[in-house]
Structure 1
Amino acid sequence: MAYDLEEQEQLDNLKALWKKYGNLATWGLIIILAGYAGWTAWTARQAGQTLHASQLYEEMQKFVVAKDNAKVQAVADDLKSKFSGTSYAHMAALVAAKSAFDANDLKLAKTQLQWVADNSKLEEYKALAKIRLAGIALDEKAYDDGLKHLAGTFPAQFDADVLDAKGDIYVAQNKIEDARTAYKAALEKMSEKSPGRQALQMKLDVIGGATDTKVVSK
């Protein structure tokens, strides 16, 4: 497919939006869930493994604040090996993936996310992991892998995020019609009060909300 200079500039603007808003959206969900997990540590009042796991998780949060990625990974791996049956192990892996991503260690981030996708009993955590794996695949230009992560069934509350992520990959592949369809479907699924709605609308505006397109074949 061939693009004129104006269209290429629009695509460049869209990619800038991905960097500014795309990662923030799904990583933000991880931060929210991290806070929720910390809160449940005090309210659940469960004994044994869960209590010990919650203490390790709280310790890991200190290393997150200090941006000590090595210690974050060490505690996360400890939780995964000793307390894999608790939600703290899976939440720790998600947070460790964010820490590794911030440290530009995409390989380690993918390893942590894939563990959650393969092992978590909570569909919400699995969904977050798969969406983030798709985001990293987009960064690495592994578009087919990204779409594979987004295939299958997700909890309904993640439908908009999945469609949004698919749209990003389609734009990177220059499949503008597919991207437009995905973004529009994501907007329909997204709540009017959703904080990500404005960024999604901006993406759609950049590639043109109308069904017509200036894209022409070579």
Structure 2
Amino acid sequence: MANHLDLEEQEQLDQLKHFWNQWGTLISCVLIVVCGSLAAWNGYQYWQSRQATKAAALFDAVDVANRGKDQARVEQAFGDLKANYAGTPQAAQAGFLVARGLVEAAKPDEAREVLAWVAANAGDDGFKALAKLRLAAVLTEQKKYDEALAQLSGSLPAAFDGVAADHRGDILMLQDKRSEAQAQYAKAYKAMSEDVEYRRLVEVKLNALGANPAAETVAAAKAAEAAK
């Protein structure tokens, strides 16, 4: 009986050796790749966490210096953010703080430079779009209407379609292009949902131009229903 068991064990060992000789190298390579990938992922996560912590500290420095009107410290902290953490949310948010401070200090040209940097370097499309909207607002204040419209003419995330169209309408009104402005306001009105307060402001602008978007919307709905 013992010999029979020894023979079975030897056969199993032989099969195991054969299996390992055939597949052992591949299995080892796979294990090395998997373990290496896990180590790399953990390292990347750790690096990202450290980057976010450092960027947050610099954002706080920008915020404190900006509120204290310490322009030298603002420039130093924001410069470090741009140089080392350009794609982080903190860098974009700091850019908005810096630009607002520059506008309040009557330095629109410097504010434009900051907003243009955010629009070009932010890691989030929403931040890029917001930077373009604010840049367009600064350009509008400077009466640089064509440049302002250029900022709003590119592709923006769909969530910004209504606001961008409203801003274009405002700029066109300042250029005394009433029919074009009305078309943009109408686009903004349609892009916004009924429960958005901003939509009522757009409706007021359309009413001032002789349009009644609410009535037009009801009429269109009735016509669509009748066509069914």
Per the normalisation by structure 2, the TM-score is 0.66
* 1:70-96, Cα deviation, whole Å (9 max, x unpaired): 543432222112221322112211221
Structure 1 residues 168 and 86: CA distance shift in structure 2, 3 A: same
- Show the counterpart of 1:106: 108
Percent of pairs identical after alignment?
34
Unmatched runs of 5 consecutive residues or more in structure 1 = 1-44, 212-218
Structure 1 residues 204 and 63: CA distance shift in structure 2, 3 A: farther
Of structures 1 and 2, the larger Rg is shown by 2
Structure 1 residues 207 and 89: CA distance shift in structure 2, 3 A: same
1:81 and 2:83 matched: yes
- The residue identity in structure 2 corresponding to 1:209 is A
Unmatched runs of 5 consecutive residues or more in structure 2 = 1-46, 214-228
CA–CA separation in structure 1 for the residues paired with 2:64 and 2:194: 35
* Higher helix content, 1 or 2: 2
1:145 and 2:156 matched: no
* 1:1-22, Cα deviation, whole Å (9 max, x unpaired): xxxxxxxxxxxxxxxxxxxxxx
Structure 1 residues 191 and 210: CA distance shift in structure 2, 3 A: closer
- Show the counterpart of 2:124: 122
Deviation, 1:67, is 4.8
- Show the counterpart of 1:52: 54
* Residue aligned with 2:49, SS: coil
CA–CA separation in structure 2 for the residues paired with 1:183 and 1:85: 33
- The residue identity in structure 1 corresponding to 2:146 is D
- The residue identity in structure 2 corresponding to 1:123 is D
Structure 1 residues 206 and 65: CA distance shift in structure 2, 3 A: farther
1:94 and 2:108 matched: no
CA–CA separation in structure 2 for the residues paired with 1:80 and 1:130: 18
Contact in 2 for aligned 1:164/1:183 (Cα 8 Å):
yes
CA–CA separation in structure 2 for the residues paired with 1:206 and 1:70: 46
* 1:188-207, Cα deviation, whole Å (9 max, x unpaired): 11122323223322322333
Structure 1 residues 195 and 108: CA distance shift in structure 2, 3 A: farther
1:175 and 2:194 matched: no
- Show the counterpart of 1:205: 207
* 1:130-184, Cα deviation, whole Å (9 max, x unpaired): 1112112211111111111111211010001110111011101111001111111
More moved, 81-90 vs 175-184: 81-90
Contact in 2 for aligned 1:117/1:130 (Cα 8 Å):
yes
* 1:89-116, Cα deviation, whole Å (9 max, x unpaired): 1221122112211222101110001001
CA–CA separation in structure 1 for the residues paired with 2:70 and 2:190: 40
Q: CA RMSD in A?
A: 2.3
Contact in 1 for aligned 2:63/2:94 (Cα 8 Å):
no
CA–CA separation in structure 2 for the residues paired with 1:67 and 1:208: 46
- Show the counterpart of 1:33: none
CA–CA separation in structure 1 for the residues paired with 2:80 and 2:162: 34
CA–CA separation in structure 2 for the residues paired with 1:103 and 1:138: 17
- The residue identity in structure 1 corresponding to 2:201 is A
Per the normalisation by structure 1, the TM-score is 0.69
